Amino acid sequence: MSARTGGAKRARRGGGPGGARIAWLPVLAVAFLLVFGFYPLPWRVPGHPALWAEHARFWAGASLLTLGPVLALAAVDLPWLHAAPSWLLRALRRPPPLAFAAVVVVVFTGLAVWVSWYVSGFAPVTGGEVAQVFHARLLAQGHVALPADPHWEFFAVDSVIPRRGWFSPSPLGGPAVLALGFLIRAPWLLYPLLGGVTAAALYQFARRACGEAQGRVAAVLFSVTAMPLLVAAGYTNHVPTLLLSVTALMLVAEWERAERVGIRRWCAAGIGLAIGATIAVRPLDGLVVAGAIGVFQLVVATGDEQSRWKELGAEVAGGVVGLAPLLLLGWGGPGGAWHFAYGAPWGAAHSPGFPFGVADTLAAPLRADLHAAQLVSALNFQVAGWALPALLVAGLGILAMRRTSPWDALLFGLFGALVLACGVYTPAAGMADARLLYTALPALLVVLARTPFLVAERWGGYWRHGAPLAALALVGVAWLVPMPPYGALGLVQAARASGAPARLGLSAAVREAGVKHAVVFIHQPFSMRLQRRLWGLGFSRSEAESLLRHSDACSLLDAVTLGEADSLLVPSAIAAHAATYAPGALPIRAADPEIRISSPASLTPACRAALALDAQYGSMPFAAGLVQETVGPDGRPGGDIVYVADLGTHNAALRARFGDRAWYRAWTERRPDGSVVARVAPY
Amino acid sequence: MRTVREWWRDEEQPVTLAVAAIVLVGALGRLALLNGPMRHDEAASYLQVISQPWASVIAGYQLPLNHLLYTLAAKLSGALGGDAPWALRLPAFAAGVAVLPLTYALGSARYDRTAAMFGTALAAAATPLVLYSVNGRGYIFVVVAYLGLLLVGDRILRDGPIAGRWVAFAFIAAAGLVTMPLMLYPLGAAVTWIALSALASRQPRPWRVLAGLAGAVAAAGVIAVLAYAPILRAHGLDTLVTNPAVAPVPWPEFFAQLLPSLARAVGSWAEPYPLAGAIVLGVVAVVGVARDGRHRRGGVSILLAAYVWAAVLMCVQHHMPPGRAWLWVVPPLALAAGGALASLGRHRRAARLVTWLPGIATALAAACVTWGSLSGAVGRSMDTGVFAGAADIADLLATQVQPGDRVEVSGPSGAPLRYYLLRAGADTAMLAAPDSGTLREILVLNARYGQTVPWAIAGGLIDTARFGPIAPATHAIDGNVYIAERRMNRP
């Protein structure tokens, strides 16, 4: 920190962020990590101890075989090895700040683009990603949402709500940012690029908070850590959320050190804008960031000789501007201004509170704690793939701190607050997805980047070169030693395995088949065909799933056909026509495991034909087509090629609407080498 | 390198006598076990390889049983003493005794005489070293090769890398590799140690050592490939590198095996001592390893280099080798523990004990070897498969078996029983008699492996619908024999 800055002046006085010493903070932070990340809470999550034991075996074995030898070699009198960390650090510090930031952006973007191509071939993978990409395409085409489609069963996916109008269940901010990618015709590039900019912003923040060297190491660490790369390689709204929150942190650092009121005011307005926009993308994360930064700013404003209260007014104004697009779009759209869109699919159940799902029999607050512990454990497993738990390394770094500053308090507070907030977040209950804590990642990575410095400073001697060599070994081994399913490479490979359905190559198959002005029916398995047709008859998703699970599929097919022929039949009457599944001596085993047929006597000609379709054609997720849908002038799918789910005989319902188009069928085929590819042929 | 005569002349007389006594005690301890019951692996090795014609000896690798160099040595010693256990184990015995002076030589080169004496005393009694000195397999050859490489390496580091030393290094390394591919562990450990020592020594031209090392390793590799050429021609490379004994396993499985397997190996090193003694020895060994840098005469710790290399190789291979694969670590570990004991002897308050140290080391060796023999530590070890009652049962079967009898035996009991049946001059066809003509089933069960009659029935070793009742016939050490007659009216 420059001697000219306000922060430095306060540091000399010992009262400001740079100079304060908070003795109890490391103890509290380590205790928090211990309780939520190691013991006892993770061990009380049902089913979790086995997962923990498996990872503990990996950490023990991998550190014994990789980290241990490096630490042993560090004890040998090898001058070149001892000098290597210093040499690397000097090389890292050589470029001027702007050049370094540019290199970080390019490197991160390049790596994330490669990961995106490798994992999914640039396609969205999860339901959430599909929904956001679909919604971003709508926004890019000028639609906040589409009107409800009369044949919505042909277009629905789990994460898109087409019944009361088409939109994604995510707040509009995420798809709005992603729409920029469609406007520049490179959606695959946008999030890797935003990830790269995040790395640069993190550098700017960390150099102000911790010093130039540690700031650069933090940025490099962000760029070579598995989790940021994997998240930036996808299409979730975590990417813009993180960029906006790190931007807010970066501006806080500038606001804290700036002496001129004008600069501080602009910084404050920028902080407000970034936080408001964060709320527009991920409301809960934005509120946590706002809380953590707000408390920090209040502490600074209270302790400063100069009045800073007016600047906070600019910040509030900035926040309103940042949040306004969400409120306006939501107001005009189907979700409602204060609904943040989530309420549409989930209703009142989707609100912060004590979640239900992790361990239903426990008291509510403990349930929330267990969910939080589950998330922290998941972060520990998935953040970097190191041979040691990342939280253990962070704890070591915190213990090695000789002094803790309000910057540390801000980072610890951000991490802790997000963990607790996610713990009480109802819809997330049961989801052990570390990405829910993604907004707190900078706090963790800054501490991890500082750990070698802190350990070297605290214990000196051997640790001056031993600690940085160990850190290099952790990162290097994670990427260079393939230990699937462990390590950074293992995490990337696991993501690739789950991204396999997204790499089927539907677009290429459509191009190859020379499809023009057509409707493409994407083959769905028998069970999904039944469920979709039930949705079209007025069944909710859970009702349709339950009916399928308990019914004889052939009799259910007859009931559905009956319902479609007689529009007066209500769902309960249709359900009454379906026979309950009662396996006889010779139950039929279909290729689709969700299909249950009681006995050969149930097999009607229609049912045989439906089963034969599954034998002939491999199924394909409809999401592959949905994300390529183009909106026509009437606000409905109507591009040159329209993708719909193949619902067998029910496809005739589309004859009037798409009768002028050529009909094609898309399905998957397994090659002799085991890979699965998309195929398209006339229907 | 000094000759034995020079060593005898140069060493202090009490030390010389103490070392000779320790070696003698160690040799006697091993000699007492030389003709003990044949274990599964050595019996199988004899039946499938050593007893075969020379062409099969040099080209046989149906199972990873053929420790090539050992097989050749055992074939030659078998020519002297026939198929007696002592004859098949004679090369291992000679190598096992040789380990002791080599351990002393390494200890005096890397530490000091006192540490070397105590280390040798511990090595003389170490159950794993004793066990594989009286086991007709090649593991102890690998230990000798490792110690030889370290001694040559020490001379190279101290007196310069001359061609003759590299030739010796290459041939010793090749001998180890030709014994078994597992030699990659100790060979790599020795190479790592020499390379790190050269780099850390700040000599003006460490690359000369590194270049010589690379050349010697390459030469050893060429010799080994030539020696394995008949096997490679007959069975292909996969036999050597992807057989179940070395093939990689999935990482989760590997990590699940790693720590328990290492713990078992470390536990076996504590034999033959009772719990209290093992704890004391463990503490001494840990202190010795931790203070390794203070005791040794400069350079890099041998154990550190071994750890680094073994970790690298295990990462590459991700297959957990059996505990005996770490046998070569025992002598340097014993020397590290010996170093810790020697430092106690050098303590100011123990100054008057200095002249007694050779005697104390000898007494330690004698006491530990005697304890090991009396406690039956080698016999208790189940490594490589044990069926101690095989000889007695084979003698019984040789005289009692009638036409129409079929002998059922399973697990690690099969090869020893077959070996002793052959020695007894019996027809081993009883072990593979056709089921259709069988009138009596003779069950040979090994109690040490939990083989009981219910176990045999559950495992389908005997069909109780056609044979029964199952009646006990005889018992010998860990073997139980049962007889079941064919039931009437059952085909």
Q: Indicate whether A119 pLDDT > 70.
A: yes
Put simply, the answer to whether B196 touches A58 (Cβ < 8 Å) is no
Put simply, the answer to whether B255 touches A78 (Cβ < 8 Å) is no
Chain A residues whose CB is inside 8 A of the B254 CB are: 61
pLDDT tens digit string along A482-535? 998 999 999 999 999 988 888 888 989 999 999 999 999 999 999 999 999 998
Task: Give the closest of A60, A78, A485 to B259, CB-based.
Answer: A60
Contact A503, A494 (CB under 8 A): no
The model's pTM is 0.87
Q: Which positions in chain B have a beta carbon within 8 angstroms of at least one beta carbon in chain A?
A: 196, 199-200, 202, 251-252, 254-256, 258-259, 293, 300, 304, 307-308, 311-312, 314-315, 318
- Amino acid A666: pLDDT: 95
**Percentage of chain B exceeding pLDDT 90:** 61
Contact A228, A195 (CB under 8 A): yes
- Tell me how far CA of residue A150 lies from CA of A146, A164, A406, A538, in angstroms: 12, 11, 57, 12
Put simply, the answer to whether A58 touches B258 (Cβ < 8 Å) is no
What value, to the nearest 5°, has the Cα angle with vertex A310 and ends A305 and A313?
140
Put simply, the answer to whether B254 touches A61 (Cβ < 8 Å) is yes
Q: How far is A73 from chain B (nearest CA, A)?
A: 8
Tell me if chain B has a CB within 8 Å of the CB of A77.
yes
- Amino acid B417: pLDDT: 95
| Dihedral sign from CA coordinates of A610, A612, A613, A615 | positive
**Percentage of chain A exceeding pLDDT 70:** 89
Chain A residues whose CB is inside 8 A of the B312 CB are: 69
Tell me if chain B has a CB within 8 Å of the CB of A72.
yes
Helix residue spans in B350-409 (DSSP H): 357-375, 377-380, 390-400
- Amino acid A15: pLDDT: 38
- Amino acid A422: pLDDT: 87
The position carrying tokens 């059922």 is B408
Q: How far is A67 from chain B (nearest CA, A)?
A: 10
Closest chain B residue by Cα to residue A486? B251
Total residue length of chain A: 683
Task: Give B482's strand partners.
Answer: B443, B472
Put simply, the answer to whether B311 touches A66 (Cβ < 8 Å) is yes
- Amino acid A144: pLDDT: 79
Closest chain A residue by Cα to residue B320? A61
Task: Give the closest of A61, A75, A78 to B255, CB-based.
Answer: A61
Q: Indicate whether A2 pLDDT > 90.
A: no
Tell me if chain B has a CB within 8 Å of the CB of A58.
yes
In whole angstroms, give the CA distance from residue B36 to residue B43.
Answer: 12
pLDDT tens digit string along A252-288? 999 999 888 899 999 999 999 999 999 989 888 999 9
Chain B residues whose CB is inside 8 A of the A79 CB are: 202
- Amino acid B111: pLDDT: 87
In whole angstroms, give the CA distance from residue B312 to residue B326.
Answer: 15
- Amino acid A680: pLDDT: 94
Window from A658-672, B34-48, B294-308 with minimum mean pLDDT: B294-308
In whole angstroms, give the CA distance from residue B67 to residue B70.
Answer: 5
Put simply, the answer to whether B304 touches A68 (Cβ < 8 Å) is no
Half-sphere exposure in the Cβ direction for A595 (13 Å, CA)? 25
pLDDT tens digit string along B67-121? 999 999 999 999 888 899 999 999 999 999 999 999 999 999 988 889 999 999 9
Q: Indicate whether A541 pLDDT > 60.
A: yes
Give the mean model confidence (pLDDT) for residues A312-334.
82
Longest Cα separation, chain B: 89
The strands making up A641-646's β-sheet, listed across from edge to edge, are A641-646, A518-523, A662-670, A676-682
Tell me if chain B has a CB within 8 Å of the CB of A69.
yes
Q: Indicate whether A82 pLDDT > 90.
A: yes
- Amino acid A330: pLDDT: 67
Most confident of A7-21, A88-102, B283-297: A88-102
φ/ψ of B244, rounded to 5, equals -60, -20
Closest chain B residue by Cα to residue A477? B315
- Amino acid A21: pLDDT: 63
Closest chain A residue by Cα to residue B251? A483
**Percentage of chain B exceeding pLDDT 70:** 95
Most confident of A336-340, B3-7, B317-321: B317-321
pLDDT tens digit string along B226-250? 999 998 888 888 877 777 778 899 9
Q: How far is B254 from chain A (nearest CA, A)?
A: 9
Tell me if chain B has a CB within 8 Å of the CB of A65.
yes
Q: How many interface pairs between A and B have CB atoms less than 8 angstroms apart?
A: 58
Put simply, the answer to whether A481 touches B258 (Cβ < 8 Å) is no
Instruction: Pick from B192, B197, B251, B304 the residue to mutate for testing the A interface (most A CBs within 10 Å).
Output: B251
pLDDT band with cut points at 50, 70 and 90 for residue A7? very low
Q: Indicate whether B405 pLDDT > 50.
A: yes
Tokens representing A28?
């509290």
Tokens representing A27?
């103890």
Q: Are strands B405-409 and B440-446 parallel, antiparallel or unpaired?
A: parallel
Put simply, the answer to whether A65 touches B314 (Cβ < 8 Å) is yes
- Amino acid A305: pLDDT: 72
Put simply, the answer to whether B315 touches A65 (Cβ < 8 Å) is yes
Q: How far is A45 from chain B (nearest CA, A)?
A: 22
In whole angstroms, give the CA distance from residue A373 to residue A362.
Answer: 14
Q: How far is A498 from chain B (nearest CA, A)?
A: 19
Tokens representing B458?
């559950």
Contact B49, B41 (CB under 8 A): no
Contact A352, A175 (CB under 8 A): no
Contact B322, B138 (CB under 8 A): no
Window from A302-316, A601-615, B68-82 with minimum mean pLDDT: A302-316
Put simply, the answer to whether A57 touches B256 (Cβ < 8 Å) is yes
The strands making up B467-476's β-sheet, listed across from edge to edge, are B405-409, B440-446, B479-486, B467-476
- Give every CB contact of residue A332 below 8 A, 6+ residues apart in sequence: A144
What value, to the nearest 5°, has the Cα angle with vertex A223 and ends A219 and A229?
140
In whole angstroms, give the CA distance from residue A180 to residue A132.
Answer: 13
Instruction: Pick from A73, A76, A381 the residue to mutate for testing the B interface (most B CBs within 10 Å).
Output: A76
Q: How far is A480 from chain B (nearest CA, A)?
A: 11
Tokens representing A45?
């999550």
Put simply, the answer to whether A76 touches B312 (Cβ < 8 Å) is no
- Amino acid A354: pLDDT: 43
Give the mean model confidence (pLDDT) for residues B367-396.
92
pLDDT band with cut points at 50, 70 and 90 for residue A358? very low
- Amino acid A405: pLDDT: 87
pLDDT band with cut points at 50, 70 and 90 for residue A217? very high
Tell me if chain B has a CB within 8 Å of the CB of A483.
yes
Put simply, the answer to whether A58 touches B251 (Cβ < 8 Å) is yes
Q: How far is A228 from chain B (nearest CA, A)?
A: 25
- Amino acid A1: pLDDT: 35
Chain B residues whose CB is inside 8 A of the A385 CB are: none
In whole angstroms, give the CA distance from residue A269 to residue A322.
Answer: 10
The position carrying tokens 């454990």 is A377
Q: How far is B165 from chain A (nearest CA, A)?
A: 25
Window from A175-184, B87-96, B265-274, B405-414 with minimum mean pLDDT: B265-274
Task: Give A352's strand partners.
Answer: A425
Task: Give the closest of A57, A66, A76 to B304, CB-based.
Answer: A76
Mapped onto helix, strand or coil, the DSSP state of residue A461 is coil
Give the mean model confidence (pLDDT) for residues B348-360.
77
Window from A382-391, A424-433, B29-38, B207-216 with minimum mean pLDDT: A424-433
- Amino acid A163: pLDDT: 59
Q: Indicate whether A28 pLDDT > 80.
A: yes
Q: Mean pLDDT score of chain A, rounded to an integer?
A: 87
Question: Angle formed by the axes of helices B184-200 and B139-159, to 10°?
Answer: 10
- Amino acid A67: pLDDT: 97
Task: Give the closest of A61, A72, A79 to B259, CB-based.
Answer: A61
Give the mean model confidence (pLDDT) for residues A352-359.
43
Chain A residues whose CB is inside 8 A of the B255 CB are: 57-58, 60-62, 486
In whole angstroms, give the CA distance from residue A654 to residue A198.
Answer: 46
Q: Mean pLDDT score of chain B, rounded to an integer?
A: 89
pLDDT tens digit string along A158-170? 666 555 666 677 7
pLDDT band with cut points at 50, 70 and 90 for residue B491? low
In whole angstroms, give the CA distance from residue A243 to residue A274.
Answer: 9
3-class SS string, B125-181? HCHHHHHHHCCCCCHHHHHHHHHHHHHHHHHHHHHCCCHHHHHHHHHHHHHHHHHCH
Q: Are strands B479-486 and B467-476 parallel, antiparallel or unpaired?
A: antiparallel
Put simply, the answer to whether A483 touches B251 (Cβ < 8 Å) is yes
- Amino acid A430: pLDDT: 55
Q: How far is A71 from chain B (nearest CA, A)?
A: 10
Q: Indicate whether B378 pLDDT > 50.
A: yes
Give the mean model confidence (pLDDT) for residues A11-30.
64
Closest chain B residue by Cα to residue A57? B255
- Give every CB contact of residue B434 below 8 A, 6+ residues apart in sequence: none
Contact A632, A589 (CB under 8 A): no
- Amino acid B433: pLDDT: 74
